[in-house]
């Protein structure tokens, strides 16, 4: 990549981040449904066509940050240690994320994170759009499992279960924080839930899926 190309890409990234930040500020202030794409474009001082070049829909202005996590489960499984099952790998990673109060686990009481999650879980169109990101997450994980010789149906079913558990644990942890608990207070119950949820999967999936030996 030459300097000109690099500068152009950096400018696009800065514009993308500015648009998303501007939109989120407006959505949190007024409510998602009360803010139009035109409002966001005007606040960010760009045209609507320019905004849509970066974000295909109004919902993507909020959910774009999930794109960075779409391949997370796939990476965890692909890069796991020899002899470790897919469920065990995702389970261990989730517990580590809980320990550092990663927002993706729902166990984060930072006001900005809590406000974002409250917006997400209280807006029907955002939850519907999130399903597309989740479907891509399942697809990427299934591809990794198939590459390890899991039958296609087995790979898809396993990916769906693993992704669903991660998401539902995150939602339950958010409920605890939203009800007034601190992340430290909610941590023991979050760990117990993770142990139980992944334990249910491990009894079946790790026996059905290939486990690399090297």
182-198 pLDDT, tens digit per residue, is 999 999 999 999 999 99
pTM (two decimals): 0.86
3 band by pLDDT with thresholds 50, 70 and 90: low
209 in Cβ contact with 79 (< 8 Å):
no
Cα separation values, 135 from 102, 111, 155, Å: 22, 29, 14
Q: What is the C-alpha separation between 125 and 58, in angstroms, rounded?
A: 10
Q: Is it the case that residue 86 has pLDDT exceeding 60?
A: yes
Residue 77's Cβ-count burial label (10 Å; 0-12, 13-18, 19+) is buried
- Within 10 Å of residue 71's Cβ, how many Cβ atoms? 16
68 band by pLDDT with thresholds 50, 70 and 90: confident
Cα separation values, 136 from 66, 99, 140, 159, 211, Å: 11, 27, 6, 11, 23
Q: Is it the case that residue 55 has pLDDT exceeding 70?
A: yes
Q: Is it the case that residue 206 has pLDDT exceeding 90?
A: no
Q: Is it the case that residue 1 has pLDDT exceeding 60?
A: no
The pLDDT of residue 211: 65
The predicted model gives 143-156 an average pLDDT of 94
The predicted model gives 75-82 an average pLDDT of 94
């Amino acid at each position: 990549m030459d300097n000109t190309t690099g500068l152009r890409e950096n400018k696009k990234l800065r514009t993308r981040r500015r648009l998303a930040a501007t939109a989120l500020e407006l959505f949190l202030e007024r409510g998602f449904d009360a803010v139009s794409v035109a409002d966001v474009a005007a606040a960010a001082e760009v045209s609507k066509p320019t905004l849509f070049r970066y974000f295909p829909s109004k919902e993507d202005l909020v959910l774009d940050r999930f794109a960075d996590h779409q391949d997370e489960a796939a990476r965890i499984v692909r890069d796991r240690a020899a002899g470790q099952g897919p469920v065990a790998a995702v389970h261990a990673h989730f517990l580590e994320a809980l320990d550092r109060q990663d927002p993706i686990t729902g166990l984060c009481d930072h006001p900005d994170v809590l406000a974002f999650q409250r917006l997400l879980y209280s807006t029907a169109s955002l939850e519907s759009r999130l399903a597309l990101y989740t479907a891509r997450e399942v697809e990427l994980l299934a591809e990794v499992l198939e590459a390890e010789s899991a039958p296609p149906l087995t790979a898809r079913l396993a990916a769906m279960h693993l992704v669903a558990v991660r998401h539902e644990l995150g939602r339950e942890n958010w409920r605890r924080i939203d009800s007034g608990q601190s992340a430290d207070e909610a941590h023991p119950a979050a760990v117990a839930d993770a142990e139980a949820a992944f334990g249910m999967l491990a009894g079946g999936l790790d026996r059905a899926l290939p486990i690399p030996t090297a």
